Amino acid sequence: MDPAENDKLTSTAVVETDEVLAPGHTYRSVSDRVSDMVLTWPVGYRWAAGLALALGLLFVLNVALGWVFTIGVGVWGINIPVGWGFAITNFVWWIGIGHAGTLISAFLLLMRQKWRTSINRFAEAMTIFAVACAGLFPLAHMGRPWLFYWMLPYPDTMGVWPQFRSPLVWDVFAVSTYLTVSLLFWYTGLLPDLATLRDRAKKRVTKMIYGIIALGWRGSAEHWSRYETCSLLLAGLSTPLVVSVHTVVSFDFTIAVIPGWHSTIFPPYFVAGAIYSGFAMVLTLAIPLRKYYHLEDFITMKHLDFMGKVMLATGLVVAYSYIMEAFMAFYSGNPYDRYMMMNRMTGPYAKVFWTLIFCNLIGPQVLWISKIRRNPWFLFAISLVVQTGMWLERFVIIVTSLHRDFLPSSWGMFYPTRWDWMTFLGTLGLFFTLFYLFIRFMPMIAIHELRDLVHKTEHEKAPAH
């Protein structure tokens, strides 16, 4: 390939394509494009502005958590009967979002889906940041957060252990395992790219930093062979985790006796919902990224189309669950379940419920239309709608179930306070701060996998060498 063509490929012209990789890319062009995003200085003003906004929200989080830790969780709107409010809603929401990354990188890897290549890296990063955000909430929502370690089975001189029948203890294990495995998987995948950056960096300091974190990757055949084995093993480990984490999170509710929580449909329903919101988040991140970093030839129409389809599929599972939940409430003849369902639909939180139904059930049905799946801005809007819907879903499950349970005398209402909102918006700040730093300092697309893809697509096109 002549240099002129290479220049064209590394330029910023919009090339929409239906392949998983725009045609004409070479090993060098993909490496240039991705590593340049990290190694080019100075930073763009748009990135800086975005980071500043995210840092502003992070500051809000600091203030909110500072106040919560100083005064107590009473600064939130929670009460008796609604003992969990925004905090657990946010926790489940963030954990759900954190599902897409691992699903894309591990599950699709095992399925040998080529289209995962250009989105898996930032999706994995998103997972880790989302889990980090999620992890804040169980800690912050505790009445005495300084005693959080009592949830862990550490050797205590008094011989006390966590109470292993509690799903909250299972949560601790599920989420921490998930975070650990996701982090390892992500970092392992980063190693060859970090080495690429080390090799391409011009400044000594940059070289040294990437050199250290590349852990001495030289790209030898032995390295690659071990890398492949390791990736496969971690993918094998992560895949069941994708299913298990949200299953365990759903146990927080199903184990309880509260109408609206006590339901066997929750584990699959939660997992589907998690993937639904996770893919929505990937789209929310991918669409602006491909626009501002001109990655249309890496994150192609085909990717958007596939992700739209995954959303549609998981959205239908979620819809089925909603319908089944309502059906079972009436079919079971259980007066508490019936009342709970009627109260969701007609009670004081009915507006929230119907908004959720619109966001998760009705709105995304436009994804049946191929044109819409291939329209980035439409897709972006739908991804936001779905994320809103998924947040509301968790809110509805938690708050409407608790606020009117068995004894009518103890019914109550939950109204979020400004501290609830600040904590929630603050975690968005934390998430985007981490994400902005990530896209600036780490290769947001897996370079070595792109190279591999270049190799494979060339072979497909020219099978007869």
Least spacing, CB of residue 171 vs another protein, in Å: 8
Q: Which is nearer to another protein, 150 or 187 (CB)?
A: 150
Least spacing, CB of residue 324 vs another protein, in Å: 23
Q: Give the interface with another protein as residue ranges (CB under 8 A).
A: 71-75, 77-84, 138, 141-145, 147-148, 150-151, 160-163, 165-169, 172, 252, 255-258, 335-336, 339, 402, 405-413
Least spacing, CB of residue 136 vs another protein, in Å: 15
Q: Which is nearer to another protein, 21 or 73 (CB)?
A: 73
Q: DSSP letter string over 36-73?
A: HHHH--S--HHHHHHHHHHHHHHHHHHHHHHHHHHH-G
Cα–Cα dist 32/6, whole Å: 10
CB 250 within 8 A of CB 88: no
Q: Which is nearer to another protein, 172 or 287 (CB)?
A: 172
Q: Which is nearer to another protein, 79 or 244 (CB)?
A: 79
Q: Which is nearer to another protein, 23 or 72 (CB)?
A: 72
> Would you put residue 260 in left (φ > 0), alpha (ψ -120 to 50) or beta?
left
Cα–Cα dist 60/176, whole Å: 26
Q: Which is nearer to another protein, 15 or 258 (CB)?
A: 258
Q: Which tokens belong to 87? A: 């905090």
Q: DSSP letter string over 137-149?
A: HHHHTSSSGGGGG
Least spacing, CB of residue 351 vs another protein, in Å: 18
Q: Which is nearer to another protein, 82 or 281 (CB)?
A: 82
Q: Which is nearer to another protein, 150 or 320 (CB)?
A: 150
Least spacing, CB of residue 233 vs another protein, in Å: 31
Residue 225: half-sphere exposure toward Cβ, Cα within 13 Å? 3
Residue type, 449: E
Q: Which is nearer to another protein, 212 or 413 (CB)?
A: 413
Q: Which tokens belong to 190? A: 């980063």
Least spacing, CB of residue 354 vs another protein, in Å: 20
Least spacing, CB of residue 335 vs another protein, in Å: 6
Cα–Cα dist 458/20, whole Å: 12
Least spacing, CB of residue 68 vs another protein, in Å: 11
Q: Which is nearer to another protein, 53 or 139 (CB)?
A: 139
**Which residues, at least 6 apart from 381, have a Cβ–Cβ distance to it below 8 Å?**
none
Least spacing, CB of residue 408 vs another protein, in Å: 4
Least spacing, CB of residue 273 vs another protein, in Å: 20
Q: Which is nearer to another protein, 23 or 83 (CB)?
A: 83
Q: Which tokens belong to 105? A: 């990188």
Least spacing, CB of residue 313 vs another protein, in Å: 33
Q: Which is nearer to another protein, 227 or 406 (CB)?
A: 406
